[in-house]
Amino acid sequence: MFHILAADGIANEGIDLLKKNFDVDVRDKISHEELLEIIPQFDALIVRSASKVTSDVLERAAKLKIIGRAGVGVDNIDVQAATERGIIVINSPDGNTIAATEHTFAMMLAVSRNIPQANQVMHAGGWDRKKFVGVELRNKTLGVIGLGKIGAGVAKRAQSFDMKVIAHDPFVSEERAKSLGVKLVNLDELCATADFITVHMPLTNKTRDMISLPQMKTMKPTVRLINCARGGIINEADLATALTEKIIAGAAIDVFDGEPLAADSPLRNLPNIILTPHLGASTVEAQIGVSVDVARGIIDALNNRPVATAVNLPHIPSHVLEKLAPYLDLAERLGRTITGMSREPISNVQVKINGTIADMNSSLISTAVLKGMLTAALDTNVNLVNANILAAERGIHLSEVKSSATLDFANLVTVSANKNVVTGTLFGNEGRIVEINNFRVDVDPHARILICPHINRPGVIGLVGTLLAKHKINISGMNVGKTAIEGTSLMVLTVDNPMPQNVLDEMKSLDPIFDVTPVAYDV
């Protein structure tokens, strides 16, 4: 049974799902040293933001297959190191979207009306209305940096407050922005124009410190900054300077470059900033949502099903992934077949995708082919995460050809390498090999098969059957394919038993048999 470590206080709803399938060890608070000590025994790890899954942790994670981040950001996980080790990293991009959106708007309202400061004075026995005069949101311009789901949600709510919304996001089209009622601008224009600026970008090398003192100096002195995305996007030292020197009017910050925020941070002593301790996802509903999302992803991954929320795989919407899933299994089996048929090392492989699936984001199909090829040849863990890396390390070049045109089948996947060609399709949701080296066949690639090109003459099938019976090897299926080459056929046998080398040699020595290629799929 798989063993799962749930750290950082994962909601019980997700834990209960996992416990139906696996052995779960719950550690709500765990030190880095303890994580290093115990991680070798676990197959899966779930964290929130407290635990740091660094390269030294991953070096000791001998059994680890998947890391689940119960939240959106994965900056506390060394994704590159995980990818190199074939460890899937998943997150929950939707589970806390509403919570983060609402918290952003709460921070915007709080900073515009000085609500926390006024509340503090009231609790201390004071009453000072003039000191806490605020500003309205109506008729103000909101600048949204990052128009993902949370940024778009904030933009939608801002319009209900009669705000004009402008946005900067290099990955969003004009058409998408128009549908949201948002005007796209460059970052300089946004900084110079907006009355409120809210950040909703991931933290990357490009976005770190993207809002620093030079940008703040171009802003209106009445502007207010909000960051409920990731610490480090707004430079904290520069923000403290801008607030102290009244370069900007105020800020509301929920996330920080180092968490928890240092006790001596200059931000703590400023009257014109609102600070919350990373509460963006801290609602009952969000905590349940992200824990359930990640639990389902881990269950899928450990049962060898693709996961739509994997961050170190191409992003494919769940409804598309559902359609592609059976083709991934087929592609992996085609990869195993082409490796079994190759007598020499493979340096170039072509994957041709025909039909309606060619219009989808089908890059995972090619990756699945590589997974099948390498699984058949290596004794290391190969999966959809590291297959491309392992192939590149071994000098295997992959090319992909896509076409919506087909002849006899709605969809086809064809793999070519070392002058061998194998083609497959689906019958319902079951994969079938329908062509091998121009021979038309119908083969179920879910057990052991023997590929035997032979002379097309009477008695060949009986000859082979007699030989295998002599060695107590049962034939559970047989298909004979023909080609335009006169006098030649291809026999594909499904056998229930392993094929010893001496039996293979004896089969090859039969006069009508040109060759015998064994391929094992699930064994």
Catalytic residues: 230, 259, 278
From the list 339, 336, 334, 337, the residue with the least C-alpha distance to 351 is 334
Quickly list DSSP for 453-502. EEE--TTHHHHHHHHHHHTT--EEEEEEEE-SSTTEEEEEEEESS---HH
Helices (runs of H) and strands (runs of E) counted in the chain: 17, 22
The percent helix, strand, coil of the chain (3-state, each to 5) is 35, 25, 40
What angle separates helix 318-341 from helix 363-377, to the nearest 10 degrees? 40
- CB-CB contact of 35 with 54 (8 Å): no
- Can you give the three-state secondary structure of 218-287, one letter per residue? CCCCCCEEEECCCCCCECHHHHHHHHHCCCCCEEEECCCCCCCCCCCCHHHHCCCEEECCCCCCCCHHHH
- CB-CB contact of 422 with 428 (8 Å): no
- Count Cα atoms within 13 angstroms, Cβ side, for 481: 19
Write down the residue that tokens 């076409």 correspond to.
403
Quickly list DSSP for 55-74. HHHHHH-SS--EEEESSS--
Q: What is the rounded CA–CA span in Å between residue 434 and residue 285?
A: 49
Q: What is the rounded CA–CA span in Å between residue 323 and residue 289?
A: 25
Q: What is the rounded CA–CA span in Å between residue 72 and residue 37?
A: 27
Kindly state the tokens that stand for 292.
């359930």
Quickly list DSSP for 111-124. HHHTHHHHHHHHHT
Kind and range of the H or E run holding 153: helix 149-160
Kind and range of the H or E run holding 438: none
- CB-CB contact of 300 with 306 (8 Å): yes
Q: What is the rounded CA–CA span in Å between residue 179 and residue 412?
A: 37
Q: What is the rounded CA–CA span in Å between residue 170 and residue 200?
A: 13
Kindly state the tokens that stand for 192.
């110079």
Cross-strand pairs, 197: 143, 225
AA identity, residue 188: D
